[in-house]
Amino acid sequence: MKKIMITGALGQIGSELTLKLRDIYGTDNVIATDIRKNESEAAGSGPFEVVDVTDAKSMLDTAKKYNADTVIHMAALLSATAEANPVFAWNLNMGGLMNALETARECKAQFFTPSSIGAFGPSTPKDNTPQDTIHRPTTMYGVNKVAGELLSDYYNHKFGVDTRGLRFPGLISYVTPPGGGTTDYAVEIYYEAIKNGRYTSYIDKGTYMDMMYMPDALNAIVDLMEADADKLIHRNSFNVTAMSFEPEQIAAEIRKHIPGFEISYDVDPVRQSIADSWPNSIDATAAKEEWGFKADFDLAKMTADMLDKLRTKL
Ligand code: AKB
């Protein structure tokens, strides 16, 4: 049985991933770590350790203590926060990744870390963006993601670490809210639709970005980590996506459940310019061909489920 250590286990992806992995591999085999402990189920339902990812020793000691054979490194700043604090973002995103890769190397562990559509930039082809293409991002987050993909590939060919990664689009979930991302509007809109019947979007109408519902993202991580290494031509990182939409389209879908729902705009220039530098839609053919990626939720199915779950929660 695997022994998995997760960093950033209380974050947007980590909190749900921890519970899913505990279901699959057993509670005691999934060690959640984060910079602080809170009252969440991810923190309380199994082994938990406080680990600051910039502290290499603490991360390695924790992995050794539990004999981790898999490291899932989720701790990172998202795009808008990174843009506001670029030096801090470099230190956290790159320092944390380097420590996590070193931990995986020392422990001979399999390794996963997420990349993002943020790894692309304004000179990347915007529609149906290929797996292998131009990467000249103009954000600190994007610079971190491209460097992270290259570093992960380096640890694979130089040291034989089994590194794997996914370029995630915006992830939408009703469990743990994201913080500091550019795609967060597509989560906030559902909360506001239930609470107030209206939403003011900081992303302008007509701005298309890729998105995915969290259950599909979690399945993608598990499927990629379980995939036969011999079938992987790519490793760091695979394009994955479930849908691409702009704010008017998500609003129209919400209106099918909440008639009269209104959307207005107060565009945030920083997040808008980040969104404008990212693709409209990416091509996930390599992920489908190499390890069978598929997504179950489209915009209609995700919207019905989000609103249903949030009505119970809020
Ligand atoms: C963000 O908006 O920063 C993230 C991402 C697409 O990587 N959700």
Catalytic-labelled residue, pool 66, 141, 155, 185: 141
CB 274 less than 6 A from any atom of ligand 1:
no
Of ligand 1's atoms, which has the minimum distance to the CA of residue 82? Answer: 3
Residue 187 falls inside a structural domain: yes
User: What's the confidence (pLDDT) of residue 228?
Assistant: 97
CB 139 less than 6 A from any atom of ligand 1:
no
pLDDT, mean of residues 242-250:
98
Residue 13 falls inside a structural domain: yes
The predicted-structure confidence for 1-23, as pLDDT tens digits, reads as follows 899 999 999 999 999 999 999 99
User: What's the confidence (pLDDT) of residue 1?
Assistant: 87
Q: How far apart are CA 115 and CA 138, in angstroms?
A: 15
Range of the domain at 91: 4-167
Of ligand 1's atoms, which has the minimum distance to the CA of residue 209? Answer: 6
For residues 80 and 49, membership in a common domain is answered with yes
Return the percentage of the chain with pLDDT > 90, whole number.
96
User: What's the confidence (pLDDT) of residue 249?
Assistant: 98
For residues 126 and 195, membership in a common domain is answered with no
Residue 227 falls inside a structural domain: no
Closest Cα to atom 7 of ligand 1? 116
Residue 268 falls inside a structural domain: yes
Question: Which of these, 213, 188, 172, 171, lies nearest to 298 by C-alpha position?
Answer: 213
User: What's the confidence (pLDDT) of residue 108?
Assistant: 98
pLDDT, mean of residues 271-277:
98
For residues 12 and 156, membership in a common domain is answered with yes
For residues 11 and 101, membership in a common domain is answered with yes
Residue 229 falls inside a structural domain: no
Quote the ligand 1 centre to 137 CA distance (angstroms).
Answer: 13
Task: Read off the pLDDT band of 239 (50, 70, 90).
Answer: very high
For residues 85 and 187, membership in a common domain is answered with no
Is residue 75 within 8 A of residue 52, CB to CB? The reply is: no
pLDDT, mean of residues 181-207:
98
pLDDT at 263 over 90: yes
Residue 219 falls inside a structural domain: no
Question: Which of these, 77, 150, 79, lies nearest to 118 by C-alpha position?
Answer: 79
Question: Which of these, 237, 191, 242, 182, lies nearest to 212 by C-alpha position?
Answer: 242
Q: How far apart are CA 155 and CA 272, in angstroms?
A: 34
Domain total for the chain?
2
Annotation says 174 is catalytic: no
CB 241 less than 6 A from any atom of ligand 1:
no
Q: What is the pTM of this model?
A: 0.97
Quote the ligand 1 centre to 208 CA distance (angstroms).
Answer: 13
The predicted-structure confidence for 71-130, as pLDDT tens digits, reads as follows 999 999 999 999 999 999 999 999 999 999 999 999 999 999 999 999 999 999 999 999
Look at residues 142, 167, 192 and tell me which one is the last residue of a structural domain: 167
For residues 195 and 146, membership in a common domain is answered with no
User: What's the confidence (pLDDT) of residue 178?
Assistant: 84
Of ligand 1's atoms, which has the minimum distance to the CA of residue 78? Answer: 3
Residue 39 falls inside a structural domain: yes
pLDDT at 243 over 90: yes
pLDDT, mean of residues 265-284:
98
The CATH number for 261's domain is 3.40.50.720
CB 46 less than 6 A from any atom of ligand 1:
no
Look at residues 167, 185, 202 and tell me which one is the last residue of a structural domain: 167
CB 115 less than 6 A from any atom of ligand 1:
no
For residues 154 and 298, membership in a common domain is answered with no
Residue 235 falls inside a structural domain: no
For residues 274 and 176, membership in a common domain is answered with yes
For residues 152 and 186, membership in a common domain is answered with no
Task: Read off the pLDDT band of 297 (50, 70, 90).
Answer: very high
CB 103 less than 6 A from any atom of ligand 1:
no
User: What's the confidence (pLDDT) of residue 257?
Assistant: 98
Q: How far apart are CA 42 and CA 62, in angstroms?
A: 17
